[in-house]
């Protein structure tokens, strides 16, 4: 899992670096384009992912304390919070598309769609992992002494959180 996460972080780092460098080269374009984004939406997206990450971390602690049922409920709560992210993000994508701000609109939006779209795919994969772990938890397949699979899945989810914590200020806030 660590190798996979490091590989994914490397790809995200390259994309984030491309965004940051391009922003330095085109500050006016990025400032004008960023104005079309709703930073409160970015904050809501951030809070939904961080809340989801908290529930996922609680699940690990509950399983370690021999409370698999509670761990399963925490993973379902993590999944529900992730669903909030998906709904909000899809609404944002729809709104931007309806304004004609697609991937080919300008350099800012090309990078916006690539970065956030790539992250969105990771969120969807993470949600599948959260659901799978919740089912395994409910069945008592993780124990305090045997929860490496749960820890690996939650570690992946925290990578998704961490990347968004970097993307939010870069894409929505920093001029």
The tally of domains found in the chain comes to 1
* pTM score over 0.75: yes
Rounded distance, CA 17 to CA 136, Å? 38
User: Could you read off the pLDDT of 85-115 as tens digits, one per residue?
Assistant: 999 999 999 999 999 999 999 999 999 999 9
- pLDDT mean over 121-141: 95
Residue 174 φ then ψ, to 5°? -70, 120
Contact in structure between 75 and 133 (CB atoms under 8 Å): yes
Cα distances from 87 to residues 22, 33, 123, 150, in angstroms, run 29, 23, 12, 25
Tell me 104's DSSP state.
T
Residue 143: pLDDT above 90? no
**CATH code of 106's domain:** 1.20.120.80
Domain residues for the domain of 74 are 39-170
Q: Please check whether residue 27 lies inside any domain of the structure.
A: no
Q: Please check whether residue 11 lies inside any domain of the structure.
A: no
Give burial (CB, 10 Å; 0-12/13-18/19+) of 94: exposed
pLDDT classification of 74: cutoffs 50, 70, 90 = very high
């Amino acid at each position: 899992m660590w190798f996979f996460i490091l590989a994914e972080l490397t790809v995200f780092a390259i994309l984030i670096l491309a965004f940051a460098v391009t922003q330095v080269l085109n500050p006016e374009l990025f400032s004008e384009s960023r104005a079309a984004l709703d930073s409160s939406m970015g904050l809501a997206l951030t809070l939904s992912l961080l809340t989801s990450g908290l529930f996922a971390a609680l699940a690990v602690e509950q399983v370690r304390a021999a409370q698999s049922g509670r761990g399963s409920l925490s993973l379902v709560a993590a999944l529900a919070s992730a669903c909030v992210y998906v709904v909000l993000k899809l609404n944002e994508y729809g709104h931007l598309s309806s304004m004609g701000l697609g991937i080919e609109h300008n350099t800012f939006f090309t990078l916006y769609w690539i970065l956030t779209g790539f992250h969105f795919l990771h969120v969807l994969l993470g949600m599948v992992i959260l659901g799978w772990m919740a089912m395994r938890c409910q069945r008592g397949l993780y124990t305090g002494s045997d929860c490496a699979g749960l820890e690996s899945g939650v570690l992946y989810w925290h990578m998704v959180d961490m990347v968004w914590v970097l993307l939010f200020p870069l894409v929505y806030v920093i001029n």
